[in-house]
Chain A
Amino acid sequence: MADEGGTTSTADDGGEAAARPLIDLTSRPSTLAYLREAWRRREFAIVVPAQDLRAQNMDTTLGQLWHLVNPALLVGVYFLVFGVIIDTRRGVDNFLGFLIIGVVLFHLTQRVTLEASGSITQNLGLIRSIQFPRILLPAASVNGQTAAFVPALVLALLAVLATGELPTLRWLVLPAVLVAQFAFNFGVALLVARIGTTMRDLRQILPHLFRLLFYGSGVIFSVDAFVQSTAWRRAFALNPVYDVITCARWCLLGEPVDLWVVAGLVLWCIVMPALGFVVFHRSEQRLGA
């Protein structure tokens, strides 16, 4: 037969067949070995969510087009309500571009968080039968939602171009902003995946938290135009989603950005993944119990 190692092909099996030393089966790998194993299995967290996305809209008429139509409709509704009916366009030159960047980036973080909060609890069967680094489950949520976000991002770029913006050198900074958001999202995903296992109510609470965050992130209005006090404006820099959206608007629309906001984004995209990993990894062994 081919190879006879266990399913987790470790270096210490294989070799001579007779009288191999027995290894402890209940010990926990070191954090470094854990991360290495997670990296080796990274394709799981890429392929499985990709297949799920395929399966998601398979029965609908528009099929995969929904990943494009959905954000377009979403932005359309917001534009109608906040751009036309309740006019929040004050202080913004290109409101449609402004709005679409805000809505699309905000929803990315929201979708990742909601999806990741159930990533452990909805895969208990897998956790109880296969030994693998559990970090792959929230990672799959992040990857899947980020992949689903790509059409929306393209839509946002097209909308920005269509509303008369021309690409500048600042556009080259956008990938860095998106990478920072990805890192932040990953950290949040780890945190909520862990919290979701002991507090099942989290999934009910999260939508409301995000509604609150929505208004505190300047998705539909310019914080600079509506908030006069400098101290309050700086307080907005504490909100990571506001930081992401504001930096992205600076890149694409040339909207002003405060140095505090940039500092906030840099800090969040380092602190959040570290915090998320520590919290997640610490109680990992008990996740399925």
Chain B
Amino acid sequence: MTDSGNPDVTVEVRDAHVSYRVFEEPAMGLKQGFARGRVRRQHRMIPAVQGVTLDLFERETLGLIGPNGAGKSTLLAAMTGLLPLRSGTIRGRSRPSLLGVSSVLRPALSGRRNILIGGLALGFTRAEVERRMDEIIDFAGLRADIDRPMRTYSSGMRARLRFAIATARIPEILLIDEALTVGDEEFRRLAAERIDDVRSASGSVVLVTHNMNEIRRFCDRVVWLDEGRIRAAGDPAEIVDSYLAAPSPNSR
């Protein structure tokens, strides 16, 4: 096993390959199912990440950029163990947490109830959520509105609530996938604060975004992914410049 041996490494990705299945049709129709006499749908394996090797260090914010379909989100999903690797290894100090609590929240319910729901989805017990409730409400800056239904919130308020729930426990390794683009300036200030919290607790942050200003603002190092491989890595200013200059049809 190739081991970096570096005590500062929080996540170590070695020659990771990830493929996912894409179904040829949205869903199997009964007709085809019976006609072919089998239950499985037709699918292709799409190689999304093809041999990525990288280390993530303590107190670092790593930016992940690349055109759509470059494998950025897939790599994050593999790092949290959401997608199985076809080959290679990913090891880490603890399981990274991906900012993604939004899908479990219920617009019809109040902010307070959503904090409970989101917290439980993230693995807190009910008692743990209750204990952190005030802290989460204050961090989100929603003290006055917390008992109103979430559907009455502005998009900025919603983004703050989601972010406050998802980072209620400061994770050691925080993965952010296009989550900062939504929301207002107040929200971005909040996010910056949390990212600093993670780093000052010797953690690491990975930020996936198409917004180069976010990369310049938050990141210490940037990895440019293209077609599932690392095309370049290094200083944010340099990489962003060459990324923007690259004649890639679907890059922004």
Contact = CB atoms under 8 A, between A and B. Distances in A.
B54 to A, nearest CB: 14
Nearest to A12: B94
B203 interface: yes
B164 interface: no
Contacts of A1: 170, 197, 201
A129 B98 contact: yes
- Counting chain A residues whose Cβ lies within 8 A of the other chain, the interface size class is 35 or more
Interface in B12-41: 12, 20-21, 26-30, 33, 39-41
Interface string A16-32: 01111011111100000
10 contacts: A4-B202, A23-B92, A24-B91, A43-B126, A44-B121, A55-B108, A129-B101, A198-B39, A288-B82, A289-B83
B169 interface: yes
A123 B120 contact: no
Interface of B: 7, 9, 11-12, 20-21, 26-30, 33, 39-41, 77-85, 89-104, 106, 108-109, 113, 116-117, 120-123, 125-126, 169-173, 197, 201-203
A47 interface: yes
A56 to B, nearest CB: 9
A36 interface: no
A268 to B, nearest CB: 24
B90 A26 contact: yes
A43 B11 CA distance: 31
B59 to A, nearest CB: 12
A158 B112 CA distance: 37
A273 B30 CA distance: 27
**Overall SS of chain B's interface:** loop
Given A43-B126, A44-B120, A198-B28, A51 B109 contact: yes
In order of increasing CB-CB distance, the 6 nearest A-B pairs are A129-B100, A125-B103, A6-B94, A22-B91, A13-B94, A200-B27
B109 A54 contact: yes
B148 to A, nearest CB: 13
Contact of A26 (B33, B78, B106, B172): B78
A182 to B, nearest CB: 22
Given A6-B171, A10-B95, A58-B108, A131 B120 contact: no
B82 A128 contact: yes
Given A7-B122, A125-B102, A126-B103, A25 B90 contact: yes
A48 B100 contact: no
Contacts of B93: 13, 20, 22-23
Contacts of A18: 7
Contacts of B169: 2-3, 5, 7
Contacts of B91: 22-25
B172 A131 contact: no
Contacts of B122: 7, 130
A8 interface: yes
Nearest to A41: B123
A123 B103 contact: yes
A6 B96 contact: yes
B116 A47 contact: yes
A93 interface: no
B106 A55 contact: yes
A285 interface: yes
Interface in A185-244: 198-201
Contact of B81 (A51, A127, A131): A131
